[in-house]
Amino acid sequence: MKLWEKGKVSLDKRVERFTVGKDIFFDQSLVLYDCLGSIAHAKMLQKIGVLKAAEFKKLKKELVAIIELDKKGKFKLEQHDEDVHSKVENHLTKKLGDLGKKIHTGRSRNDQVLVDLRLYSKRQLQLIIESLLDLCTTLVKLAQKNRLVPMPGYTHMRQAMPSSIGLWVASFAESLLDDLHLLWCTYELNNQNPLGSAAGYGVALPIDRNLTTKLLGFSKLQNNVLYVQSGRGKFESLILSALLQISVDLGRFATDLILFSSPEFNFVRLPEEFCTGSSMMPQKQNPDVLELIRGKSAMMQGYFLQILNVVSGMYSGYHRDLQLTKEPLMQGLALEKECLEIFALVIGKLKVNKGPAAKACRIELFATDKAIDLARKGLPFRDAYRVIAESKFEFVADPVENIKKKRHLGATGNLALYKLLDRIAEHRKKLRKEKSLFERKMKALADL
Ligand code: ARG
């Protein structure tokens, strides 16, 4: 029987299939967090006198047993279970009788699902931040190694000014580190305890929300019980909007790599084991991996919009439409992690073709620098510009010396990569702290 069935009419099977849909598949990843959330809730019920200490102990033992079953793949959700929350409660009732029926006192599946999703997102965000930092580290290394390798800098996809492999690669590292700020910001918003909001209107029990905040390791309590419910979808879309920035960066970098690794450019080479072939054209070595990264960046925009569209214009409070935000959230988190890992793999093995990259630098690239040289000698820049334009570019230039000569902050001769390394180290420190706090709290719940 469903948690909400009153024993008279049971749900039409076709409607059940439709309303449950793929949701139980996604709920399967929430079993752990649903049980941990239930332990925290039960402990709080004990503290306010709704459960006796012995009752809490039995419930906790059974919830820990479910976690173990789930680890072994033996707690499988099925359509008739409706969702993870119902499955867990029904299991407790089967094992513990009336005691199982007590655990839902003072809570709703509406705040339960929020607890599950926030803990789940928190963990996934930690893993994503870790992968992002690994990628940035690999990028900085590549930039450092190739800081003196010249390549043309383009504007309008025409050769513009001299650049370096180091400048190009480090630009993406710096951009990704900026994205990380957005990610931490959504991490913090997501780090608020929704438990105790019940169905969105609180409950006439002295629910101790500070206690569950502490037990579940949230950094603070999300105060207004109705806002907690309206936060569903909002937080998810915020997380995806941060992930989106990362995806866009990866997609653009992938595009550059596709171009610069093509035989016509040949500035870099993808390792052969990362390239796929053509079923018909024997000569082909294709950068499918990069094309899929770019394509997945487009998918991410779709996930983000799916969530935003579900919630915008929605009335206050819980509505079942919200269930549909689970899929794009989870898919988006998984996609980002996968892309970051694959990208780091590709970058780690990328070969820079110094010769072709330097040889591609045509003499015209140095025209602006030559004009600047004249300007430094006192000629007004506009006149220097004309002198060089009329010179038919008959001058010589040393591309490596050119890189070294641009010494101001952030330019080719002064990439200040140490700044990026400092930022990476700072983020790693913060991440280590967050991860260990989370792991400690989750473990403590099972040991309570
Ligand atoms: N599967 C549901 C969801 O993800 C769980 C909450 C159900 N709440 C309800 N009032 N029907 O939203």
What is the DSSP track for 122-188? HHHHHHHHHHHHHHHHHHHHHHHHTTT-EEEEEETTEEEEEEEHHHHHHHHHHHHHHHHHHHHHHHH
Closest ligand 1 atom to Cα of 23: 1
Q: Read off the pLDDT of residues 118-158 as tens digits, 9 standing for 90 and up.
A: 999 999 999 999 999 999 999 999 999 999 999 999 999 99
For residue 7, the model assigns a pLDDT of 82
Ligand 1, atom 2, residue with closest C-alpha: 323
Phi, psi at 271, each rounded to 5°: -60, 140
The residue annotated as part of the active site, out of 10, 181, 262, 278, is 278
CA 365 to each of CA 150, 155, 164, 293, 395: distance values in angstroms, whole numbers, following the listed order: 11, 11, 12, 31, 11
Reply yes or no on whether the pLDDT at 10 is more than 90: no
CB atoms within 10 A of CB 386: 13
278 catalytic? Reply is yes
Task: Give 154's strand partners.
Answer: 159
Residue type, 247: S
For residue 411, the model assigns a pLDDT of 98
**Helix count (H) and strand count (E) of the chain?**
18, 6
d(Cα 303, Cα 164) in Å, to the nearest integer? 36
Query: How far apart are the CA of 15 and the centre of ligand 1, in A?
Result: 15
For residue 123, the model assigns a pLDDT of 98
Q: What's the number of CA atoms in the CB half-sphere (13 Å) around residue 429? A: 6
297 catalytic? Reply is no
| CATH architecture, domain 13-105 | Orthogonal Bundle (1.10)
Q: How many residues does the chain have?
A: 448
With beta carbons less than 8 A apart as the criterion, state whether 241 and 182 touch.
yes
Q: How confident is the model at residue 294 (pLDDT cuts 50, 70, 90)?
A: very high
Task: Give 155's strand partners.
Answer: 158
Reply yes or no on whether the pLDDT at 342 is more than 80: yes
For residue 179, the model assigns a pLDDT of 98
Q: How confident is the model at residue 5 (pLDDT cuts 50, 70, 90)?
A: confident
Output the average pLDDT for the chain: 96
Averaged over 50-69, what is the pLDDT? 98
d(Cα 143, Cα 158) in Å, to the nearest integer? 23
For residue 282, the model assigns a pLDDT of 86
Phi, psi at 164, each rounded to 5°: -140, 155
- The DSSP output letter for 50 is S
Task: Give 164's strand partners.
Answer: 150
d(Cα 73, Cα 89) in Å, to the nearest integer? 18
Q: Read off the pLDDT of residues 160-214 as tens digits, 9 standing for 90 and up.
A: 999 999 999 999 999 999 999 999 999 999 999 999 999 999 999 999 999 999 9
Q: What's the number of CA atoms in the CB half-sphere (13 Å) around residue 378? A: 0
Please report, rounded to a whole number, the percentage of residues in the chain having pLDDT higher than 70.
100
- Quick one: 419 exposed, middle or buried, by C-beta within 10 A (0-12, 13-18, 19+)? middle
Averaged over 100-117, what is the pLDDT? 97
Compute the 3-state secondary structure of the chain and give helix, strand, coil in percent, each to the nearest 5.
65, 5, 25
Closest ligand 1 atom to Cα of 83: 1
Query: How far apart are the CA of 34 and the centre of ligand 1, in A?
Result: 13
d(Cα 326, Cα 26) in Å, to the nearest integer? 7
Reply yes or no on whether the pLDDT at 24 is more than 90: yes
Q: Which of 79, 109, 115, 324 to mutate to test the pocket of ligand 1 (most atoms within 8 A of CB)?
A: 109
d(Cα 190, Cα 392) in Å, to the nearest integer? 60
Phi-psi region of 358 (alpha: psi -120 to 50; beta: other; left: phi over 0): alpha
Reply yes or no on whether the pLDDT at 109 is more than 80: yes
Q: What is the b/e burial string over 64-80, where b = at least 16 CB atoms within 10 angstroms of the residue's CB? A: bebbeebeeeebebeee
For residue 35, the model assigns a pLDDT of 98
Q: How confident is the model at residue 301 (pLDDT cuts 50, 70, 90)?
A: very high
Q: Read off the pLDDT of residues 364-419 as tens digits, 9 standing for 90 and up.
A: 999 999 999 999 999 999 999 999 999 999 999 999 999 999 999 999 999 999 99
Averaged over 235-258, what is the pLDDT? 98
Question: Rg of the chain over CA atoms, in angstroms?
Answer: 28
Task: Give 152's strand partners.
Answer: 162
Query: How far apart are the CA of 231 and the centre of ligand 1, in A?
Result: 14
Say yes or no: do domains 13-105 and 110-359+416-447 share a fold. no
Q: Read off the pLDDT of residues 26-42 as tens digits, 9 standing for 90 and up.
A: 999 999 999 999 999 99
For residue 327, the model assigns a pLDDT of 98
Reply yes or no on whether the pLDDT at 1 is more than 80: no
Averaged over 354-372, what is the pLDDT? 97
For residue 326, the model assigns a pLDDT of 98
Please report, rounded to a whole number, the percentage of residues in the chain having pLDDT higher than 90.
94
**Which numeric CATH code is attached to 110-359+416-447?**
1.20.200.10
DSSP calls for 393-447: T-----HHHHHHH--STTSTT---HHHHHHHHHHHHHHHHHHHHHHHHHHHHHHH
Phi-psi region of 210 (alpha: psi -120 to 50; beta: other; left: phi over 0): alpha
Q: Domain ranges for the chain, please list them.
A: 13-105, 110-359+416-447, 363-402
Q: Which protein residues touch ligand 1 with a CB less than 6 Å away? A: 23, 83, 109-110, 113, 318, 320, 322-323, 326
Residue type, 94: K
Query: How far apart are the CA of 110 and the centre of ligand 1, in A?
Result: 6
CA 62 to each of CA 43, 121, 308, 314: distance values in angstroms, whole numbers, following the listed order: 14, 25, 38, 38
For residue 380, the model assigns a pLDDT of 97
Reply yes or no on whether the pLDDT at 215 is more than 80: yes
Return the structure tokens found at 172. 């993406």
d(Cα 80, Cα 360) in Å, to the nearest integer? 64
For residue 277, the model assigns a pLDDT of 86
